[in-house]
Amino acid sequence: HAFETLLLERHDAVALVRLNRPKALNALSLELTTELSQALDALERHPDIAVVVLTGSEKAFAAGADIKSIKDCGFMDVYDSDLISSTWERLTTCRKPSIAAVAGYALGGGCEIAMMCDFILAADTARFGQPEITIGTLPGAGGTQRLTRYVGKSKAMEMVLTGRMIDAVEAERIGLVSRVIPAAELEAEALATAKKIASFSRPIVMMAKEAVHRAYETTLAEGVRFERRLFHASFATQDQKEGMAAFAEKRPPQFKNR
Ligand code: HXC
């Protein structure tokens, strides 16, 4: 399937999805978010794909919503459209793990899309921000909620109220990104990280992802109970038998994804 605004590459069990509107710094047009959601639908169904890496260009992961195409919208145009709806949220319902590999700008909706991934790897050139306040609006794809959960109230409030961009070092220090990588190595490192995850049992990886996500949706006691049920359930898989037998026999495991 060919897309206008995305480039897809397959690296073994890893799908690399590259946002590709270079003339607009990957601004997230309706076409782009629609195609991203269609691509994710296909990758979720694809039996040989285990992990998705989402990336942009050297200069920009994504500079936000496409300001030029929304600037004249009225309330009903944005309320009654697909502008920020299921297409934007598609990443949050992926059961397969997703990694954002961010170089250059991740602003507004770009930062929000990165935060919807399971974790963010940043090039040392990455810059994150929620600049909506500077153009007369506010984050609209989860920024006020997800940024606050990633970095806490003080940083999130400052970033959302001033629009200040942060660099990769600050983003790592405050917990927005999991690691900073030299820009020239970002893609290789993101693919290596994704392949590492893809080498493990897929059902167990899905359970682990589901359990961490639960931490954001429920109380500690409920979350711990949820985790324990999944931990118990992992003992019903062949891969748990294989993983633990391989350890005891001092050999690499051969996971069958069952
Ligand atoms: C449309 C954009 C764009 C955007 C850049 N471009 N960002 N077009 N929407 N968000 C276009 C520019 O108009 C320009 O087109 C080309 O991309 C290159 O950008 P420049 O500004 O010339 O590059 P530079 O001087 O290097 O500055 C980079 C930048 C700046 C700092 C990232 O482009 C910028 O501030 N962009 C807007 C960032 C922003 O406010 N994002 C939040 C959007 S609101 P031409 O045709 O002139 O070459 C949002 C809400 C999401 O995201 C809510 C969910 C829907």
CATH code at 6-198:
3.90.226.10
pLDDT given at position 225? 98
> Would you write out the chain's pLDDT as a tens digit for each of its 258 residues?
789 999 999 999 999 999 999 999 999 999 999 999 999 999 999 999 999 999 999 999 999 999 999 999 999 988 887 776 777 889 999 999 999 999 999 999 999 999 999 999 999 999 999 999 999 999 999 999 999 999 999 999 999 999 999 999 999 999 999 999 999 999 999 999 999 999 999 999 999 999 999 999 999 999 999 999 999 999 999 999 999 999 999 999 999 999
Take residue 90 and report the two structure tokens written for it: 């598609």
Domain boundaries, the chain: 6-198, 202-248
pLDDT given at position 78? 87
Residue 223: what are its φ and ψ, rounded to 5°? -65, -40
pLDDT given at position 84? 67
Q: Which residues contact ligand 1 via a Cβ below 6 A?
A: 24-25, 27, 63-68, 83-84, 105, 107-109, 131-132, 135, 140-141
Atom of ligand 1 nearest to the CA of 24: 17
Helix, strand, coil share (%) of the chain residues, nearest 5: 50, 15, 35
Instruction: Give the Å distance between the CA of 181 and the centre of ligand 1.
Output: 25
Q: Does domain 202-248 have CATH number 1.10.12.10?
A: yes
